[in-house]
Amino acid sequence: MQHFAHLPTEARRRLFHRLPRRVGPGSPPGLLAHALGATLYCPATRPQLAADLARLAGRGLVSAVACLEDSVPDAEVAHAEARLVEQVGLHRHHVREGRAAPLLLFVRVRTPGQLRSLVDRLGEDVDALAGFVLPKFGAPGQPEPAEHLAAVADAGRAAGRRMWAMPVVETADVLHRESRLEALLRIREVLTAARDLVLAVRTGATDLSAVHGLRRPRGTTVWDVRIVADVLGDVVNVLGRLDGSGFPVTGPVWEHFTSGERLFRTGLRETPFDQLDVRELRSRLLRDDLDGLLREVELDRINGLVGKTVIHPSHVGVVHAMSVVPHEEWCDAADVLGAAGGVLASTYANKMNEAKPHRAWAERVLARAEAFGVAAEGISLVDVVAELVAAEAGAAAVPSARPAGAGVGR
């Protein structure tokens, strides 16, 4: 798999100074975690899941989660499991025959027992999975986290290769201030003991907000919900450290995909779109509420998160465009890592780079560049978004089923 491989060759040559690297389930964990990008969640009950995955992988989707937890009513779990086993087998068949591009497919399970049962029922088709998402990880009253991780390890042995675990931090004991630190330290201890299984820690803003009956409306970001923003900051602080003890922490779900009436003005400037004569693109981003997603992805990255959980195909290109490293940022990072120490003026002569304080930041930038590439000099975010929207419009001209993931938020 390679990000932006679905774009025409000429477009890729024009947009990129350095192309993204190819990745797969066996890639180095740091690279693979960054390459997850926009991870699309959809309920395991989707009748044409394999067809949806094939179609969306052809449009640039790299990671997806089939959910057996909150998106499936309790009364439909057995049906969802049977449907998932069928569709995962079909997906594997399509990939092996070259009828579908591969992607990183995970299953969100309820319990270790359900995980083990699914692996048994999938048989050799378990090879189609990259791993499992473990909800409400470590919370009181939930399955013991070590049991969940042991089940993932057993799944890897059954598949003959490593299966990845992505635990989700999203429960009241993490939200409540008096229990948060103890809960996060307990989670860190368990994850450290199983470090070779953990690809990334996911964050569940929907469940965290629900503890206090909150939900961010259009026109705001998760970082405006202060009680949740506090949790995200502490999750990065405890579980996302860059000293070798931490793990990549992913951005929480963006759950809007159509725009209603606006009360506040957008922060999406007109000038970059006017300069490229793509004013209609700006109107489309506003209409589909994607300007808010652009802002939230930027704030996620500023605060140390990677990737994003999404629930609609229209979100994927926006997240991936935001993940491309601008040429100026790449130059700064390369300069910092190439310096023995001290202070140096940036290549673009507009900022100060300090070799020691900025080193960890530079390493993060180059890790993202490996996964998403480096924009060519003079290429902006608007250029990349415009190319992805044009590619999506061309693909949408072919009749297709209802988009996978629509209406499902985690």
Flag whether 46 is in a domain.
yes
Decide if pLDDT at 7 tops 60: yes
Q: Is 217 helix (H, G, I), strand (E, B) or coil?
A: coil
Position 405 pLDDT exceeds 50: no
Residue 288 lies in a domain: yes
Two structure tokens written together for 379 = 């290429």
**Domain annotation covers residue 9:** no
Mean pLDDT of 82-96: 97
pLDDT average, residue stretch 182-209: 97
* Domain assignment of residue 354, yes or no: no
Between 224 and 274, the higher pLDDT residue:
224
pLDDT digits (tens, 9 = 90+) for 12-42: 999 999 999 999 988 999 999 999 999 999 9
Residue 182: inside a domain, yes or no? yes
Q: Residue 230 falls within a domain, yes or no?
A: yes
Q: Of the ranges 114-123, 187-196, 389-398, which one carries the lowest mean pLDDT score? A: 389-398
pLDDT of residue 32: 97
Mean pLDDT of 302-325: 95
| Cα dist from 367 to 3, 35, 282, 323, 348, whole Å | 14, 9, 29, 11, 21
Query: 166 with 130: CB under 8 angstroms?
Result: no
pLDDT digits (tens, 9 = 90+) for 205-219: 999 999 999 998 877
Give CA separation, 206 vs 70, 82, 132, 202, in Å. Answer: 11, 27, 19, 12
Could you list the residue range(s) of the whole structural domain that residue 48 is in? 17-324
Q: Which two tokens stand for residue 175?
A: 């939200």
Cα–Cα distances in angstroms (integers) from residue 42 to residues 33, 64, 106, 226, 297, in the given order: 20, 8, 11, 28, 20
Tell me the CATH number at 148.
Answer: 3.20.20.60
Specify the pairing of strand 104-108 against strand 63-67: parallel
Q: Is residue 260 part of a domain?
A: yes
Residue 29 placed within a domain: yes
Q: Residue 286: what pLDDT?
A: 61
Confidence of residue 407 (pLDDT cuts 50, 70, 90): very low
The secondary structure of 243-299 as a DSSP string is TTT---BEEEEE---S----SS-----SHHHHHTT-HHHHHHHHHTTHHHHHHHHHH
How many independent structural domains does the chain possess?
1
Q: Which residue has the higher pLDDT, 90 or 399?
A: 90
Q: For residues 110, 103, 310 and 184, what is the CA-based torsion angle, rounded to 10 degrees?
A: 50
Q: Which of 360, 354, 330, 361 is nearest to 340 (CA)?
A: 354
For residue 309, the cross-strand partners are: 39
